Structure 1
Amino acid sequence: MLPWEEVDEIIPNKSKFMIIDVETGLMFRVQRRAGSRHADVQPLSNKETAIMKKIYNGKWSWNRKAIIVLAGDKMIAASMAGMPHGAGVLKNDFRGHFCVHFYGSTTHRSNRVDSAHQLMVLKASGKLHDYLQDASVEELFQAFIIAINQQDETLFNLVSDGRSCKNCFRDIVNKVSYLSILSIEKNERQNDLFFNTASAKVEFFNENNNKINKFANFLLKRSTPYEQWVIDLNQFKSIID
């Protein structure tokens, strides 16, 4: 998980490297064409573009995905967004470029770290479990938001009890097109090692793109004192149904 300042020198502009998608194992070659705070890259050919589009299930998307950048003898944890935008010069059936973020890289417009990209970098590096183990309530809910908005089932199951709820992930992402949690108030339970609660003001857009604001109480739970907290989905499902 190398910091952007080091990666910037390893893959300078015009360099070529391989991208490996963590979830599918599919890989394609790209060239860095621009970017100062992260890498703006383009697939090298029509064939490479087709592989990338397959990773995104045939539809371009801003969703972040955990990737490995293979540059020379180095395998570097990274994250990509799958939407063509801006300028592109290569003949590759890809209209523009796409963004590749690394540990500590920022957006070009706001110069801010993108939380979704950084979680995917952690996922690619194998450090996501360690991060969530020590995550605060605010960080846990931030990961929950990202899991739903990015439609990342792996992350969703890590931060919630989704594995024990059949079809929970599909049901929720089909009903919620975009989620944000406007405020969180943690309600500490004295000496309770297995349960905590948090009150939150939730805003989301439903499948009809109507904005809905609700107040909800969330239960946080874990099986042993040594495990990370996870979000119980019952309350969340009740506010979106």
Structure 2
Amino acid sequence: MHAPPIAAAPVRVLPWDSAFFGFRIGCVTSSRLTPELLEATLAAGETERLRCLYFAADVGCKASSALARQGGFELIEQRIDLARPAPSAARELPTGFRAAVKEDLPTFTALAREAHTGTRFFKDARFPRARAADLYATWIERDFREHELFALGMGKQCEPVGYVSVQRDCAKGIGRIGLIAVAPRLRGHGCGHRLVQGAVSRCAELGCREIRVTTHSVNATALNLYRAEGFRPIEVRSMFHRWF
């Protein structure tokens, strides 16, 4: 006789998030819920002594979202994944697009603290606002150290006025745009397009076959930018938080 398959744990603890915010955080390992899985998920949250539990729900499964609400989850935002094929050949980089250098980081961390306030960690007031700002400053520093971070420079001194980070999955041939932001005084002047174009070109140089990016559904500016640069939606997820 064969032993029955062992069901995956309904919850995974997130060590980095937990350490950063100073309380235990986890995520639901499935994108869909059944009544039985919801019960097991909440029990696991209690057992793991979680303060907050993330759930990225399949937006096409209305039953899962309804069950999540019944279980005390709160809908925070809808996240949209977009993708486009990489160009067949690397294009000329936009004027001012360059690799970030260490001297850019003070400017970029300050920008990161105020540029991402539309995200779920700011929308959910139970996350300390100052710590949410710290999250994006830490994120941009990490991308500089561990991935690829690019700057958009302007003027004779090539002063940094925006950034975009890029990660790549070599095995899958996928490049991913991470954080992107432009200095407030230059928003609406095409800088975002130049950053995205530069990131796409860089992904092509690295041999990526596809480039992806994630934003949230109410960010019309970002959605219009990515659509104009050839990205199309491939997946939508409803992001829920459940507090214990």
Q: What range describes the TM-score normalised by the shorter chain of this pair?
A: under 0.3
TM-score, normalised by the number of residues in structure 2: 0.25
Larger relative contact order, structure 1 or 2 (CA cutoff 8 Å, min sep 6): 2
Structure showing the higher helix proportion among its residues: 2
